[in-house]
Structure 1
Amino acid sequence: MKLRIFLSLASASVLTTFLSGCAGNSAEIQAKRAELERTTPVCVDEADCTAKWEAAQLWIVHNAGYKLQTVTNVLLQTYNAVPNSPSLAVQATKEPMGGGKYKIAVSVSCSNMFGCVPNQWDAALSFNRAVSAVTP
Structure 2
Amino acid sequence: MKNKTLLAGLCLVATAACSTQGQVDPDVMQIATTPLTCSNKAECELWWQRAQTWVASHSKYKIETANDSLIQTAGPDGGKRALAFQITRAASPDGTMTIGFSAHCDSSLGCKPNPWEAGADFKQYVRGATGTAAGAPQGSATPPQNAPDATHPETMPGRTTTLPNGEAMSK
TM-score by length of 2: 0.58
Can you give the 5+ residue segments of structure 1 that lack an aligned partner in the other structure?
Answer: 1-16
Match of 1:52 in 2: 47
2:64 corresponds to which of 66, 69, 73: 69
Q: TM-score, normalised by structure 1?
A: 0.72
Distance 1:21 1:115, change over 3 A: farther
Q: CA deviation at 1:82?
A: 0.6
> What RMSD over aligned residues (CA atoms) do the two structures have, in Å?
2.4
- Equivalent-residue separation in structure 1 for 2:22 and 2:82 (angstroms): 21
Of Structure 1 and Structure 2, the greater helix share is in 1
Tell me which amino acid in the other structure corresponds to 1:61. A
Which of these two proteins has the greater Rg computed from alpha carbons? 1
Percent identical among aligned pairs is 27
Residue 33 of structure 2 corresponds to residue 37 of structure 1: yes
Cα distance in 1 for partners of 2:114, 2:98 equals: 23
Task: Confirm or deny that 1:81 pairs with 2:76.
Answer: yes
Tell me if the contact between 2:63 and 2:74 (Cα under 8 Å) persists in the aligned partners: yes
Q: Is 1:97 aligned to residue 92 of structure 2? A: yes
User: May I ask how many residue pairs the two structures share in their alignment?
Assistant: 113
1:5-57, Cα deviation, whole Å (9 max, x unpaired): xxxxxxxxxxxx9xx969x857x48875554222x321111111110000000
Where has structure 1 moved over 6 Å in runs of 4 or more?
none
- Structure 2: which 5+ runs fail to align? 1-14, 130-171
Q: Distance in 2 between matches of 1:29 and 1:91?
A: 23
